[in-house]
Amino acid sequence: MIEVENLTKQFGSKHAVEDLSFTVRKGEVLGFLGPNGAGKSTTMRMITGFLPPTAGDAKVCGISVVDRPSEAKTKIGYLPESAPLYNDMTVYGFLKFCASIRGLGGSAKKDAVERAIETCFLENVAKQSIDTLSKGYRHRTCLAQALLHDPEVLILDEPTDGLDPNQKHEVRQLIKRLGEKKAILFSTHILEEVDAACTRAVIVDRGRIVADGTPAELIEQSGTGSLTDLFRRVTTRDTEQAA
């Protein structure tokens, strides 16, 4: 469903992403882990067609985001980091607006909005203005817009960032449930989310993959039974060398 092939992004002399390759299949939830600045958001922006790659390609449902970006985007639901909202709109009005942008109309639009509201547990705030919402509900509203067109692929950048423990649990369970029928790539630096929501995870550092496997495989690779130990070992090599 998602095929990343030798994806590279340079900003001047800096390689933000370097020769990255991985796949995410239908029914798979891939956690995209790494420290801040590792290249996670840049990779997602290239897969979604928001940023052009310097080299390489990504295919979504077999469609190249380089050669056929508009067609590829119809297959994707995207939750960007710090997703924008229109504060003067109600939740329902915002989702109707987003559905119209996606080309939905009539009963299909109404059904899509109601389904997204139900899926993201927004019934209690659907008629509220967005500027009155808590951070958790604002986050759910952003997630709901990504689901409106029932995409085959979901790309979620830090979907639990800033949420309280109960809200994080709800979002993780939702991702896990959606992942049964979709291909999901979501970035995080919260290691507990690997066990909570992922069927597989990769760890990236300085734009490269430094570990890849199921949660159990990654824990075994640690040698200590701790994913935190593995994460620190494979993402702090520059610090260790400097010491």
Give the per-residue pLDDT at 131: 94
Query: Average of pLDDT values for 131-145?
Result: 90
Q: How many CA atoms lie within 13 A of 198 on its CB side?
A: 27
Chain region(s) in the chain for CATH 3.40.50.300:
2-75+151-242
11 vs 135 pLDDT, higher one? 11
Q: pLDDT tens digits for 187-227?
A: 988 888 888 899 999 999 999 999 999 999 999 998 898 99
This prediction's pTM: 0.90
Kindly indicate the confidence band of residue 84, based on its pLDDT and cuts at 50, 70 and 90. confident
Give the per-residue pLDDT at 239: 45
Query: Average of pLDDT values for 128-132?
Result: 95
Give the per-residue pLDDT at 191: 87
CATH tag, 2-75+151-242: 3.40.50.300
What lies within 8 Å, CB to CB, of 46 at 6+ separation is 7, 9, 17, 52, 53, 58, 65
Residue with tokens 């295919």: 59
Considering only CA atoms, which of 142, 133, 156 is closest in space to residue 30? Answer: 156
Give the DSSP per-residue string, 153-204.
EEEEESTTTT--HHHHHHHHHHHHHHTTTSEEEEEES-THHHHHH-SEEEEE
Cα torsion 150, 154, 155, 160: sign: positive
Q: How far apart are CA 97 and CA 85, in angstroms?
A: 11
Kindly indicate the confidence band of residue 243, based on its pLDDT and cuts at 50, 70 and 90. very low
Kindly indicate the confidence band of residue 127, based on its pLDDT and cuts at 50, 70 and 90. very high
Kindly indicate the confidence band of residue 240, based on its pLDDT and cuts at 50, 70 and 90. very low
Give the per-residue pLDDT at 238: 52
Under DSSP, the state recorded for 47 is H
Coil/strand/helix, residue 128: coil
The overall average pLDDT reported for the chain is: 91
